[in-house]
Amino acid sequence: MHPMLNIAVKAARRAGQIINRASLDLDLIQVSKKQHNDFVTEVDKAAEAAIIDALRTAYPDHAILAEESGKSENESDYQWIIDPLDGTTNFIHGLPYYCVSIALAHKGIVTQAVVYDPTRNDLYTASRGRGAYLNDRRIRVGRRDRLADALIGTGFPFREADRLEAYCRLFAEMTRSCTGLRRPGAAALDLANVAAGRMDGFFEQGISAWDMAAGSLLVTEAGGLVGNYTGDSNFLHLGEIVAGNPKVYAQMVPILTQYSRLNQPS
């Protein structure tokens, strides 16, 4: 395992321990609201602090972009992109679908990725050019080649109520085009499930770099494709992503293109 990936795995497991301990007594957790339908708990903050501490100890010069604490001041070619608890709303409700997501970008390109599901103790890892793994077993995207037979994951634009109407039109169109649409509530874990072949594709808009950085590398290293709604490679900081096995991806893009932020009047 690449030494930088190894450090990220240790950091993710440490965060997972904090999350698992807290999940045993959800009533005690302090929850505050960031904005409409967007919550943060002391668990998010404690998990993030543990991750940053582990990464800073190993790589004090690296830059950090994290959901709760934002962007670090220092400039570096290396940037860690962290979501300490993706699926906070699920976590608060005791719905066991959430994860820790840690990625390392070098000059803007994601090179290391860890997604850790603490409730199942499932560890997804990838290093650029080395393949994607679930608990040390190689994973690959699914083989279904028709969108009509595909199981597709998505997320609602929960932070941006004004986008809901357009999304509902897209939701209807995609529902008619595939065999089933799922909305589990943690994009990083959804992307890991695409990489593992459990879902054939995924799309979401209005999400941040930390929701998709690690998952995007898992998908490409598992033989899939990732891009924005127009099928272009610029997605990480655009706030939209489509991912899937190559055949399903190619059939999703024409449906999604007109909904891309690149095609919306600003």
CATH of domain 147-263: 3.40.190.80
Q: Name the pairing type of β-strands 78-86 and 63-66.
A: parallel
Sign of CA dihedral 252, 255, 258, 260: negative
d(CA 18, CA 40): 15
Strands (E) located in 118-166: 122-127, 132-134, 137-139, 151-154
Largest pairwise CA distance in the chain: 50
List pLDDT tens digits, range 153-197.
999 876 666 778 888 999 999 999 999 999 999 999 999 999 999
Please give the torsion angle defined by the CA atoms of residues 102, 91, 67 and 162, in that order, rounded to the nearest 10 degrees: 120
What CATH architecture does domain 3-139 belong to?
A: 2-Layer Sandwich (3.30)
List the beta bridge partners of residue 240: 205
Would you give per-residue pLDDT tens digits along the chain (266 residues)? 899 999 999 999 999 999 999 999 888 888 888 777 677 789 999 999 999 999 999 999 999 999 989 999 899 999 999 999 999 999 999 999 999 999 999 999 999 999 999 999 999 999 999 999 999 999 999 999 999 999 999 998 766 667 788 889 999 999 999 999 999 999 999 999 999 999 999 999 999 999 999 999 999 999 999 999 999 999 999 999 999 999 999 999 999 999 998 888 65
pLDDT at position 158, please? 67
pLDDT at position 266, please? 58
CB 115 within 8 A of CB 132: no
CB 217 within 8 A of CB 245: no
pLDDT at position 27, please? 87
pLDDT at position 163, please? 78
Structural domain spans, the chain = 3-139, 147-263
Sorted by sequence, the CB contacts under 8 Å of residue 110 that are 6+ apart come out as 81, 103, 104, 128, 213, 214, 216, 217, 236
Query: Alpha helix locations (H) across the chain?
Result: 3-23, 42-58, 88-93, 164-177, 187-195, 209-221, 246-256
CB 52 within 8 A of CB 66: yes
List pLDDT tens digits, range 65-98.
999 899 998 999 999 999 999 999 999 999 999 9
Report pTM. 0.96
